[in-house]
């Protein structure tokens, strides 16, 4: 795991919001957010013990920052990637999620600002991510941050039987 320097504290209405690296003490609250996220997307959610195991046993290059007040209210999960344009490393944002009760309070903006700062601190050249074409609110959020749409690229995924079939051909 790469160390994330500094905690960053921001006023959030009457609460103080802190953006910081995930710690093991955040596991149960992060698991709850992951359950909320799965429900939001309308997809399968494994049992809580499997979620906790996944958090604690995630791949070493996976990093998580959390937004917290008196509880964890949002997170960003990301990884360092290489190579990129100019053969410079970057970050790939896998997931950004804010609890429904905290949306509209700039939590997502603060998480993205911290992610950008991490990339700059590490002398990385970019942050990449994907977004659902059908989620206009999300697209506006990313557009407003200054993200540039890369319409020339297509997102691919191998999973399940197709992943296994390709692996068997090796």
- pLDDT tens per residue, range 17-75: 999 999 999 999 999 999 999 999 999 999 999 999 999 999 999 999 999 999 999 99
Q: What is the mean pLDDT of residues 146-169?
A: 93
Burial class (CB in 10 A: 0-12, 13-18, 19+), 96: buried
Task: Return the pLDDT at 7.
Answer: 56
Burial class (CB in 10 A: 0-12, 13-18, 19+), 128: middle
Task: Return the pLDDT at 11.
Answer: 55
pLDDT band at 85 (very low <50, low <70, confident <90, very high): confident
Domains of the chain: 8-168 (3.40.630.30)
Q: What is the mean pLDDT of residues 71-87?
A: 95
Give CA–CA dist 126/88, Å, rounded.
8
Task: Return the pLDDT at 16.
Answer: 87
């Amino acid at each position: 795991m790469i160390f994330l320097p500094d905690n960053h504290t921001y006023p959030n209405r009457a609460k103080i919001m802190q953006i910081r690296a995930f710690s093991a003490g955040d596991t149960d609250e992060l698991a709850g957010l992951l359950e909320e996220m799965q429900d939001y997307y309308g997809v399968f959610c494994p049992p809580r013990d499997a979620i906790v195991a996944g958090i604690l046993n995630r791949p070493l290059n996976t990093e998580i920052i959390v937004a917290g007040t008196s509880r964890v209210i949002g997170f960003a999960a990301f990884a360092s990637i290489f190579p990129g344009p100019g053969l410079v490393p970057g970050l790939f944002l896998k997931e950004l999620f804010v609890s429904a009760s905290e949306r509209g309070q700039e939590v997502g903006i603060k998480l993205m600002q911290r992610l950008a700062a991490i990339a700059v601190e590490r002398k990385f050249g970019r942050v990449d991510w994907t977004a659902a074409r059908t989620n206009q609110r999300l697209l506006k959020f990313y557009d407003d941050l200054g993200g540039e749409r890369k319409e020339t690229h297509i997102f691919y995924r191998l999973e399940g039987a197709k992943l296994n079939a390709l692996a068997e051909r090796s």
